[in-house]
Structure 1
Amino acid sequence: MGAVIFFTSMTMLVGLMCGKWLVRLGFPLPSHNRVESLDGLRGFLAVSVLCHHVYVWSRFSVVGWREPDMALASLLGTGAVGLFFMITGYLFYRTILNLTLFKWAKMMVGRIFRILPLVTVSFVLIVGLVILRVHPSLKLSQLLLAAVHWITAHQEVPILGYAEAGRINAYVLWSLWQEWLFYAVMVPVLGSAAWGLQRVKVPTLALPIILILLGFLLQRHVQSAIYWPLFGGGMLAYEIKSRDAIARKLRTPGAAVLAVALLAFAVVTTRSPYGLSLPAFAFFFACVACGNAFGGVLTLKAARALGECSFGIYLLHGIVLSVAFTDLGIAASLAVAPFAVVIVVAVSAAAFLLVERPMDRVGHAVRSEALPALRRSVAIA
């Protein structure tokens, strides 16, 4: 455990240094209209997932590709993704509370232009690696079918017969599939439920609580239900933030100390954020959502720059690690993580500037101009 703590800490520090360099180079920071502590958190979470997969690679030759037995090493991945799900629940809860068909369509268009372009780029990179590694015979129909599965994040199927293609990106697309289920299915359902609660004068606070309870009750019957309490935890944090008296207390140094202590206890005693450790993760996230910067760490410009690159870090770090450990023959060990994060952040920053930001702007134009025009034309017709 000591080695995991040491090299993870080193990797986080190096990641912050990379973020500082990005800021000095003029890398655009997130808008101040957003919750700065959440932006900073996203960067740390993405780097945490990188450290998790370096650990998995370090054990690969011994036990194969599997979740770590060590609770800390496991939660570097599962815990970080769990907090990402909470961020999603928090960010889209306002949309849920005021949902209309038009608002849902705008949200979906925004998500499509925000997520799919970089996923497509990552798929192309992985196809290139597969071709270089095994020189397969190119079958266009097979490749197109694989592209549909991968780009929608539905399943990381073999690419051109290469069964281990999913390991190239560390099998990270599973969480994007859960995000798509949230956007496409849960948001409309929750929006309808919120409308019903408001009609009968039930406080909206009941909605995230019901979602959390249903997640625990139905997880044996509905595969994705295990993640509902995490989305619900983010929604609950939004409700807490709207209550000023509670939010002020959660912004205090004392709340930060308690949150870190609870999270540390969860990290060394459980292997996932889905069960007994959920309250610790939810309390920590509520503090962040209410603006607790945890000593200013989460609002550092360097951390916010990392946060802006977080999707690229999450999506592309597996490719960098796979090239290092498989193609370049570098020995897989935790000591590689601080060096890998430099390359991953550089690649992710370039991806943000060249792919994510331009396509996000296209999506914004579609949402703000094309969709309203279509709505007006339908209304006239």
Structure 2
Amino acid sequence: MSPVSLLPMLLILLLILLWITLVSNWLQVRPQEGRYKSIDGLRGYLAVYVFLYHAIIWFFFLRSNKWTSPPPSVIHANLGAICISLFFMITAFLFFSKLVHARERKVDWVRLYISRILRIYPVYTAVVIALLFVVGILTHWKLREPLPQLVAHVGQWMISIAADVNHISGTKLIIAGVVWSLAFEWLYYAALPFLGLLLGVRAPFYIYLMAAVFLALFIGIIYYWYPANAWNKTLAFTGGMIPAFFAAHPKVRQLAAHWITSLLMIAVLIIATLYSPYIYSFFTYLCTTFIFVAIACGNTLFGILTWRPSCLLGQIAFSLYIIHGLILFITFMFILGMPVARVQSPLVHWLITAGCSLVLVTVCTLSYKYLERPFLEATPSLTARVKRYFRL
């Protein structure tokens, strides 16, 4: 069995779908009804693929001590780019749609940004705390850098900069380096008020002022910390904005939901995976955009995306995305140890990954129920309090 084989990944995915059903029943977590169920389902599969993608990278990292992304596989190199692009397209579609339909329902900018903070920071902060705990173990709880510098590095993490903490080179690998994508997400959120101007949607002056500050901040962060393929990654957001103009049109939804469209999506995905000239190429962008437009307009991929386990997986997708690196790191570095982990066969490596998947889904379901959801449900009350306090 190859470490880049798709078969064990498919089997682990099936195991995850079964396990999320059992764990959700146990914790009494039910899929929430959303306006875009296909997108909710898609989000879960993307997060699972990122987990499995990083499990592959770990296989080679254990043997070479070099974190090589993408892994030595054309299929996974292209699938990785497609997956991240789809994540960005989901964000762009959901929030650009608010601007497109602003005449029907006015954009509440204060609530929008509070909801984003409450959506991301509770889980992300918990992960950063766990990361610092791991750093403490690795450094035997000894301070290797001046305290002000340590505090500054922690502050950098809180604005999506993957700084090395306490002289641990490659600190970001503790969470599989996924923090870079949050910088692009925040960049898009900061750009929203200015994109609204293109549609005639106006925001209060203080929103433009704060958005401009954070737009400049994250442009700088991306320029200095994450410049690789930055323009190509940013382009993905435009692919998500396209269907916002027509996703609700009945005839478009009827065409998108047709079984022929589903077959075309699968064919386009295979072509993009096997024949893209390089990751984040314009060809990859076009193929990914076609797939996303169909899903945003209601395609369920033969019902898979709206299947109950898929929706359950979609609910915990953010926790899956942000926590999975920790589970892999703890497993391979602490539980097994590198000397043992690096000599395992690909089959054993996949079996270990399967075990990690059960722990990951359990932890993420708990995270969703006791951390994500309570903060999300607090959005209306916190928005009201902020507006009263600042008299907005």
TM range (shorter): 0.7 to 0.9
Q: Does 1:124 align with 2:139?
A: no
Percent of pairs with identical residues: 25
Aligned partners of 2:128, 2:252: CA distance in 1, in Å?
A: 44
Letter of the aligned partner of 2:370 in structure 1?
L
What is the deviation of 1:142? 2.8
TM-score, normalised by the number of residues in structure 1: 0.85
Aligned CA RMSD, in angstroms, stands at 2.5
In the alignment, which of 194, 199, 202 is matched to residue 194 of structure 1?
199
Letter of the aligned partner of 1:77 in structure 2?
G
Structure 1 gap segments, 5+ residues each: 198-220
Partner deviation per Cα, 1:131-155 (whole Å, 9 max, x = no partner): 11221434542332122111221x1
Match of 1:109 in 2: 114
What is the deviation of 1:160? 1.6
Partner deviation per Cα, 1:113-148 (whole Å, 9 max, x = no partner): 110111110011011111112214345423321221
Letter of the aligned partner of 1:65 in structure 2?
W
In the alignment, which of 61, 66, 75 is matched to residue 68 of structure 2?
66
Matches within 5 A, 1:96-245: 96-97=99-100, 98=102, 103-138=108-143, 139-153=146-160, 155-184=161-190, 186-195=191-200, 224-245=230-251
Match of 1:35 in 2: 36
The range that moved more, 315-324 or 347-356, is 347-356
Aligned partners of 1:128, 1:222: CA distance in 2, in Å?
A: 29
Letter of the aligned partner of 2:140 in structure 1?
H
Q: Given that residues 253 and 297 in structure 2 are in contact (C-alpha distance below 8 angstroms), is that contact kept between their aligned partners in structure 1?
A: yes
Aligned partners of 2:184, 2:84: CA distance in 1, in Å?
A: 11
The range that moved more, 312-321 or 322-331, is 322-331
Using a 3 Å threshold, how does the CA distance of structure 1 residues 101 and 243 change in structure 2: closer, same or farther? Answer: closer
Aligned partners of 2:311, 2:303: CA distance in 1, in Å?
A: 11
Using a 3 Å threshold, how does the CA distance of structure 1 residues 305 and 281 change in structure 2: closer, same or farther? Answer: same
Letter of the aligned partner of 1:261 in structure 2?
A
Match of 1:83 in 2: 86
SS at match of 1:59: helix
Q: Does 1:308 align with 2:315?
A: yes
Match of 2:357 in 1: 341
Using a 3 Å threshold, how does the CA distance of structure 1 residues 105 and 308 change in structure 2: closer, same or farther? Answer: same
What is the deviation of 1:349? 0.9
Partner deviation per Cα, 1:239-258 (whole Å, 9 max, x = no partner): 23133222211111110010
Partner deviation per Cα, 1:286-321 (whole Å, 9 max, x = no partner): 121122111111111111111111111100100110
Aligned partners of 1:76, 1:126: CA distance in 2, in Å?
A: 27
Match of 1:202 in 2: none
Using a 3 Å threshold, how does the CA distance of structure 1 residues 290 and 176 change in structure 2: closer, same or farther? Answer: same
Aligned partners of 1:80, 1:165: CA distance in 2, in Å?
A: 24
Aligned partners of 2:164, 2:353: CA distance in 1, in Å?
A: 27
Aligned partners of 1:277, 1:102: CA distance in 2, in Å?
A: 33
SS at match of 1:176: helix
What is the deviation of 1:196? 8.0
Letter of the aligned partner of 1:111 in structure 2?
R
Using a 3 Å threshold, how does the CA distance of structure 1 residues 101 and 152 change in structure 2: closer, same or farther? Answer: farther
What is the deviation of 1:169? 0.3
Letter of the aligned partner of 1:170 in structure 2?
A
Aligned partners of 2:151, 2:379: CA distance in 1, in Å?
A: 24
Q: Given that residues 127 and 322 in structure 2 are in contact (C-alpha distance below 8 angstroms), is that contact kept between their aligned partners in structure 1?
A: yes
Match of 2:97 in 1: 94
Aligned partners of 2:319, 2:147: CA distance in 1, in Å?
A: 27
Aligned partners of 2:327, 2:34: CA distance in 1, in Å?
A: 33
Aligned partners of 2:135, 2:3: CA distance in 1, in Å?
A: 36
Using a 3 Å threshold, how does the CA distance of structure 1 residues 244 and 77 change in structure 2: closer, same or farther? Answer: same
What is the deviation of 1:174? 0.3
What is the deviation of 1:222? 11
What is the deviation of 1:28? 2.7
Partner deviation per Cα, 1:188-229 (whole Å, 9 max, x = no partner): 2211122189xxxxxxxxxxxxxxxxxxxxxxx997432232
SS at match of 1:242: coil
Q: Given that residues 98 and 107 in structure 2 are in contact (C-alpha distance below 8 angstroms), is that contact kept between their aligned partners in structure 1?
A: no
Aligned partners of 2:304, 2:197: CA distance in 1, in Å?
A: 38
Which contiguous aligned blocks of 4+ residues in structure 1 show a shift greater than 6 angstroms? 99-102
Q: Given that residues 233 and 280 in structure 2 are in contact (C-alpha distance below 8 angstroms), is that contact kept between their aligned partners in structure 1?
A: no
Match of 2:341 in 1: 331
Q: Given that residues 85 and 234 in structure 1 are in contact (C-alpha distance below 8 angstroms), is that contact kept between their aligned partners in structure 2?
A: yes
SS at match of 1:64: coil
Q: Given that residues 51 and 76 in structure 1 are in contact (C-alpha distance below 8 angstroms), is that contact kept between their aligned partners in structure 2?
A: no
Q: Does 1:351 align with 2:367?
A: yes
What is the deviation of 1:35? 1.2
Match of 1:370 in 2: 385
Using a 3 Å threshold, how does the CA distance of structure 1 residues 307 and 196 change in structure 2: closer, same or farther? Answer: closer
What is the deviation of 1:85? 0.3
Aligned partners of 1:265, 1:222: CA distance in 2, in Å?
A: 24
Q: Given that residues 16 and 357 in structure 2 are in contact (C-alpha distance below 8 angstroms), is that contact kept between their aligned partners in structure 1?
A: yes
Using a 3 Å threshold, how does the CA distance of structure 1 residues 20 and 71 change in structure 2: closer, same or farther? Answer: same
Aligned partners of 2:281, 2:195: CA distance in 1, in Å?
A: 20
What is the deviation of 1:63? 6.7
